[in-house]
Structure formats: C-alpha cells, structure tokens
Amino acid sequence: MSQPTVEAASAVPAEARILTYAEALNEALRLEMRRDPRVFVMGEDVAVWGGGGVFGVTRGLLEEFGPQRVRDTPISEEAIAALAVGAAMAGMRPVAEFMYADFMTLAMEPIVNQAAKIRYMFGGKARVPVVFRAQEGAGRGNAAQHSQSLEAWFCHVPGLKVVTPSTPADAKGLLIAAIRDGNPVVFLEHKVLYTTKGPVPPGEYTVPLGVADCKREGRDVTCVGIHTMVHKALAAAEILAREGIELEVIDPRTLVPLDLDTIVASVRKTGRLIVTHEAVERAGFGAEIIAQVTSAAFDALDAPPVRVCGKNVPVPYSAPLEAAALPQVDDIVAAARKLVA
C-alpha cells in the first residue's frame, strides 16, 4: 500500500537521529517514566504478551521499569479506561493503551462521562491527568473494524484534548507534552505511520499542545492535513510545484486545542483551503476547521473550501477498494488544480 515515505519534521537540531515513529514514541515513554515515578503504562499486550505492543511502542519498557509500571490488562477497553481514570484521580499519571482506536467505542463511558467531566464537576478539586493512547487509520488492509479514524468523536466532547502526530519528532514531543498536561488527552497515533522514519532530537522536549506546524510553505493553496494526509499533501505539493502551483501544508498536530490562528494566517495568504483527513467526510473534523476558518476569515476566501476526506463508507478490506475509499495524493492534486483554475 501507499505508505508515506516523506521524512519531514520542522526545526530539528543537527544532532537529531533518524528514528521511526514507533521508536520516537517509545523514547518519549521511557524518558517520562524515568523522570516521573507516577507515570506508568497499561494495556493489552504492552508488557509480556506481544513483547511491547503489537506495534512495538512499549518494547523494552518491562525490562527497564518492571511489571508494576508496565502492566498487561484483560481484553476489556472499558476496564482499561476506567482503571486509568481512577489511577489518575488517585495521583498517578497513567498512559493507557488501546490496541485499536476502533475499540475505544467500548470505553466511551469512562472517557466521555468520567475523564472529561470530573475536573469540571468537582470544581477543579479533582484532576484526571491521563493519556489514552491508541492507533487509528487505514491503509494496512485491516478492514472495517480495525481501520477507522474516530478523532472527531473525541473532539466533540468538552474536557478532552485530542492529539494526532504525523512525524516521529512531533510524536515524541507531543506525547511528552500530553503526559505532563494534567488533563485527559486522547493521543491518536496512526498505524501506517509507525514504520515511517524521521529525524528526532535526543533528550526531553515538548511540542506544545495547540500549536500547528507548517510542513511546507506555499503561496497558492492552504492544505490542512491530519496524520498520513500530511505526507500525501506533501507529495501532492511536489507534483503541483512542477505546474507552478504552490501548496502550503499545515499540520494542526492537535485538534483540541486547535491552532486556528496559524491556519487562518495561511488562508489569508492563499485565499484557498483544502482540508484532508482519512476519517469519513461526513461530520468529520474537516467540517469543523472549515466552519471556523469561514467564520474567522470569510473575506479571505477566494473559493469555497474543499474537503478531501474518506468516503462515507466502512473501510473496505480489499486493497483496491480500500485505496478508493481513502483520500489519495491525486485527489489533493485535483482539488488544488480546481481551486486555482
């Protein structure tokens, strides 16, 4: 399948090493667990079984931190989420892993009704500093129940922060920021991105939640992409550049809080907006971005904003059909050409 190969991250120092997205996340967990004894990880197969998670993000943590802080759980997403909420309220800093974001649907009660509401309902006297990690997305032939992108579900719940890193460097810095945040953070990784590589600065650093990153500058069209679509947008930008069309690629990095200012500044420059994500178009987060940009910068728009998103269907198992259901590089190229026509 079309795995992104672009290795891009902004402003990385010279001593940065090339790591995979999974290795960068592993490094973030390791550094935070060394720094803060309250931090622990839990989830299905994160410790013994599977040897560090199905994608290897927790690999080696059991050996370094022991079974008290690296805990396998039963196959019950509700239990994982509820235990993490309770531990967080009791003063721990749990990082709870869901093997597939699809099955966070089983854990919505503790996440939506408990984690998101407790600080508010107790007048700030209780806090829930928990990170719910999961991977979402399609592109690996995992079919309809293991390929969804459900970030919009969580964005709809006041009290949750939602993070969607697209590069190894961002993944590490954002995860450290999420663990230190003090509020419930839904940290959504992407299964196709785990093996992608990029320069990652050594040591502790944070990428603040709520700060978007311009992955490529351009004059003609703003393209806001999430997860893999950042890389597809960068590939589209290469093709468009040969035609003299400059695509500016913005990665919001966190959807809640959303860095609207950076997106609006870009749209004020280009006058044209594409929003692209794998999640189905209908009621997807792209609609939210477009609505906010339209309200904030109606006068800046030179064309109606366009969504390049997943089709409104379950993700098919068949590889050609899966590719057809997902937004592709060519779709972004075509949308940009039409916008500047």
Partner 1 sequence: MATPVLLPKLGLTQDEGTVVRWLRPEGSRVTKGEPLFEVLTEKATLEVESPATGVLLRILVPEGATVPVATPIAVIGEPGEEIPPAPGAGVSVAPAAGAASPAVEGSAAPGAPPSPPRGRVRISPRARALAEAAGLDVSTLVGTGPDGRIVERDVQRALEERAARGGAAPAAQPAPASPAASAGVSARMRAVIARRMVESLRESAQLTLTTEVDMAEAARMRDEVAPELERREGVRPTYTDLVIRATALALREHPAVNARWEGEGIRRLEEIHIGVAVALDEGLLVPVLRHADRMSLAQIARAVRELSERARALRLRPEEMQGSTFTVTNLGMYEIDAFTPILNPPESGILGVGRVVRRPVAVGERVEVRPTVVLSLTFDHRVVDGAPAAQFLQRVKHILEHPYLLLLP
- Catalytic residues, by residue number, are 77, 146
**Which residues, numbered 254-273, are part of the site for partner 1 (CB under 8 A)?**
271
Q: Give 188's DSSP letter.
A: E
Neighbour count for residue 121 (Cβ, 10 Å): 13
Closest distance between partner 1 and the C-beta of residue 249, in Å? 21
Separation between Cα atoms, residue 60 and residue 65, nearest integer Å: 9
Using the minimum distance from each CB to partner 1, give the nearer residue, 177 or 289. Answer: 289
Q: Please, which residue, 159 or 271, has the CB nearer to partner 1?
A: 271
Indicate whether 144 belongs to the interface with partner 1 (CB under 8 A).
no
Structure-token pair, residue 324: 């057809």
Residue 331: partners with Cβ closer than 8 Å, 6 or more residues away: 276, 308
- The minimum distance between CB 310 and partner 1, in angstroms, equals 24
Of 288-307, binders to partner 1 (CB under 8 A) are: 298-303
Give min distance, CB of 296 to partner 1, in A. Answer: 12
CA proximity to 57, closest of 16, 99, 85: 99
**Exposed/middle/buried for 291, CB within 10 Å: 0-12, 13-18, 19+?**
exposed
Q: From the CB of 245, what's the least distance to partner 1, in Å?
A: 14
Query: Considering all CA atoms of the chain, what is the largest pairwise distance in Å, rounded to the nearest integer?
Result: 60
Is there binding between residue 338 and partner 1 (CB under 8 A)?
A: yes
**Distance, CA of 231 to CA of 332 (rounded, Å):** 11
Q: Which is nearer to partner 1, 298 or 320 (CB)?
A: 298
C-alpha span between 18 and 182 (Å, rounded): 30
Query: Which residue is listed with tokens 């991105």?
Result: 193
Q: Hey, what are 217's tokens?
A: 């500058």
Least Å distance, CB 337 to partner 1, is 8
Per-residue CA distances from 290 to 66, 78, 90, 227, 232 (Å): 46, 33, 40, 18, 19
Question: Does 341 interact with partner 1 (rule: CB under 8 A)?
Answer: yes
Q: How far apart are CA 204 and CA 176, in angstroms?
A: 8
| Closest to partner 1 by CB, 161 or 307 | 307
Shortest CB 302 distance to partner 1, Å = 4
CA 217/CA 196 separation, integer angstroms: 22
C-beta closer to partner 1: residue 123 or 298:
298
Give the nearer residue to partner 1 in terms of CB position, either 116 or 339.
339
Binding of partner 1 by 143 (CB under 8 A): no
15 binds partner 1 (CB under 8 A): no
Contacts with partner 1, residue ranges (CB under 8 A):
271, 298-303, 338-339, 341
